[in-house]
Amino acid sequence: MNKSNYAWLMTESKPAHRWLFLSIMVGILSGIVIIIQSKLLSTIIDQVYLHHATLHTLSLLLIGFCLLIFLRVGFSALREIISFNSAKTIKTNLREKCFAHLMTLAPNQLSALKTGELTSTLIEQIEALHGFFADYFPQMVITVVLPLIILITVFTQNWLAGLLLLITAPLIPLFMALIGMGTAKLNQDNFEALSRMSAYFLDLLQGLTTLSLFNQARAQFNTIQTISNDYREKTMRILRIAFLSTATLELFSTISIAIIAVYLGLGLLGFLKIGFSGVHITLAQALFILLLAPEFFMPLRQLGTFYHARAEAIGAATEIINILKTNSNTKKPSSPVLFSEKNILINMEEVDFAYSDNKKILDHFSLTAPQGSCIAITGPSGVGKSTLLQLIAKFIYPQSGAIFANGINIMDIDDDSWREHITLLHQQIRLFHGSIFDNITLANLNASKNEVELAAQLAGVLDFTQHLPQKLNTPIGEQNSGLSGGQAQRVALARIILKDTPIVLLDEPTSHLDNANASIILNLLGTWRGKKTVIIATHDQKIVEMVDHVYELKLLGEKN
Ligand SMILES: Nc1ncnc2c1ncn2[C@@H]1O[C@H](COP(=O)(O)OP(=O)(O)O)[C@@H](O)[C@H]1O
Ligand SMILES: [Mg+2]
């Protein structure tokens, strides 16, 4: 799992390869500047201490030293910017990919995903990849190249010091790997806990009124507490490992540097001759090596601090891959038909549909609806009326049989192009945060103010907005808050009128409206008669009396 996640992260880095390369180059250049700077510093100290050089003779070296400081600052700022951009490119790309993938899923597949989890994945978990691409990935390459350059430099000064570095260096990654092995799994658990928590919070917030009504709000506190505690413990476990690995790193690099320092000291005092090819070590040389020794371990130590970013990314990858793996439950046509006809004959032929294997909703169901016809679908609750409308809207797909529009299977028609021809008034109305006006114009963003007002009037929206201080600009909250069920339904109806499509699907349009207001629907049916094809799922006797044709659905027995 970890390996494949890692491989996946590597493939996802492709769009930012140029940035990543730049970031690595700048990192290495900045390392080389440190080597030159150390050389300068050791020479300066040697000159001052042993050769009593004056400020005047050293001025060139000092200026060079200062310039290098600025260069390093510039490089680190540059690297910061480049790294940020590379991670941003990858994250944006990935988010677009996830959204594009979600759009290929059928709407009912989408609604089966938990909103809280989905949001957590798209926002937090993709964000969690930032450190991996911005820091860990470039540092990984730098950690291989830069110590090598330093090692070669040290070898040119003194082979034994070089050898000491060479021997101690591999111990660090070894210990790090041992410690790090468990972290990826822990991080994955952590993200699962976070997703679960997000999903739960969202559900709870959305259902708070209902829960309070049943006196259950308090009881939920305990569940939240358990979930949060679980999350806290998992996070602490990861932190413990992160601290432990940093401590290990520090310990090993400090020991190595100390050994080298002791060796150099003994060499300077003349107690040790090995490694100096018979010559006494100079102060400049010893200082240069001593300054380079910590720099040799620096990239590794930095990699160590970024190690959790790697584990975090590998953990987060699982959920993202899961979203991208959710297969669309249908094959999309390779070249979808763009549909642009005004006169549409709908033919459902022998359609079979079931949500699960053991319960068929539609069994060889056929229906014909010529343009301008008005059709009612009746039957007891749960029989499949809403399902039938969703099939026509292409929110779900038949298992066998087909729905044709002027002889073209709607499965072959481009989704957007098909939905330009139909509107569906859902049984559960969903309005969005914004004004009533905004919610209506959603149907046709090019509509003029007059057109919106006309639609609002026909749908009976003006009847209640005229008593409100802000009229049509009255804001509504999420989940229709601020409106009654009937009012929300009228707003949705105005939306449908404004969209003005040849086919209109209405799912129990009078269920929220009282008798007086049901006449709004009846009037609309009157004006649409002969022009629009209207298919209505309904129990309402008045509607049934008005339509051209009634299809009565019957409950099919459950298969065991
Ligand atoms: N998304 C779904 N997943 C699984 N079963 C569903 C889904 N939607 C509806 N059903 C089931 O399919 C049957 C028909 O539902 P529906 O079409 O909403 O009936 P109606 O609109 O006639 O009341 C019901 O038994 C319902 O429980
Ligand atoms: Mg229904």
DSSP per-residue codes, 52-102: ---HHHHHHHHHHHHHHHHHHHHHHHHHHHHHHHHHHHHHHHHHHHHHHHH
Q: Under CATH, which number does the domain 2-325 receive?
A: 1.20.1560.10
Q: Which atom from ligand 1 is nearest to the alpha carbon of 381?
A: 23
CA angle centred on 304, ends 298 and 308, rounded to 5° = 150
- Looking at residue 560, what is its pLDDT? 46
355 CB near ligand 1 (under 6 Å): yes
Nearest CA to ligand 1 atom 1: 108
Q: Would you say 390 and 396 are in contact if contact means Cβ atoms under 8 Å apart?
A: yes
For 470-495, what is the HEC assignment? CHHHCEECHHHCCCCHHHHHHHHHHH
What does each of the 560 residues of the chain score in pLDDT, given as a tens digit?
Answer: 567 888 888 888 888 899 999 999 999 999 999 999 999 999 999 888 888 888 888 888 899 999 999 999 999 999 999 999 999 999 999 988 888 888 777 666 776 676 667 777 788 888 889 999 999 999 989 988 999 999 999 988 888 888 888 887 777 667 666 666 666 677 777 777 777 777 777 777 777 777 777 777 777 778 888 888 888 888 888 778 777 777 877 888 888 889 889 988 888 887 766 655 555 678 888 899 999 998 988 888 888 778 778 878 888 888 888 888 877 666 666 777 787 778 888 999 998 888 877 788 888 889 998 998 999 999 888 888 999 998 998 888 888 889 998 888 888 888 888 888 899 888 777 788 888 888 888 888 888 888 888 999 898 888 888 888 888 888 887 666 777 778 888 888 899 999 889 999 998 888 766 665 678 888 888 888 888 999 999 888 888 888 888 988 887 765 54
Q: E strands, 251-399, where?
A: 346-356, 359-369, 374-378
108 CB near ligand 1 (under 6 Å): yes
On the question of a common fold for 2-325 and 346-552, the answer reads no
CA 310 to chain centre: 18
360 CB near ligand 1 (under 6 Å): no
- Closest by CA to 192, choosing from 10, 318, 331, is 318
Q: How many residues does the chain have?
A: 560
How many angstroms separate the CA atoms of 187 and 185, rounded? 5
Q: Identity (one letter) of the amino acid at 329?
A: N
Tokens, residue 31:
């390392």
Q: Which atom from ligand 1 is nearest to the alpha carbon of 537?
A: 21
384 CB near ligand 1 (under 6 Å): yes
Q: Which phi and psi angles does 216 have, rounded to 5°?
A: -105, -5
Domain boundaries, the chain: 2-325, 346-552
3-state DSSP assignment of residue 529 = coil
Ligand 1: which of 105, 329, 359, 361 to mutate, judged by most atoms within 8 Å of the beta carbon? 361
Ligand 2 centroid to residue 109 C-alpha, Å: 18
Tokens, residue 39:
């050389």
Tokens, residue 339:
């549909």
Largest CA distance in the chain: 113
3-state DSSP assignment of residue 448 = coil
Tokens, residue 535:
């298919």
How many angstroms separate the CA atoms of 222 and 529, rounded? 56
382 CB near ligand 1 (under 6 Å): yes
In angstroms, the Cα distances linking 417 to 82, 167, 288, 421, 547 are 41, 67, 71, 7, 28
CATH topology of domain 346-552: Rossmann fold (3.40.50)
Q: Would you say 318 and 187 are in contact if contact means Cβ atoms under 8 Å apart?
A: no
In angstroms, the Cα distances linking 95 to 118, 310, 369, 442 are 12, 19, 41, 24
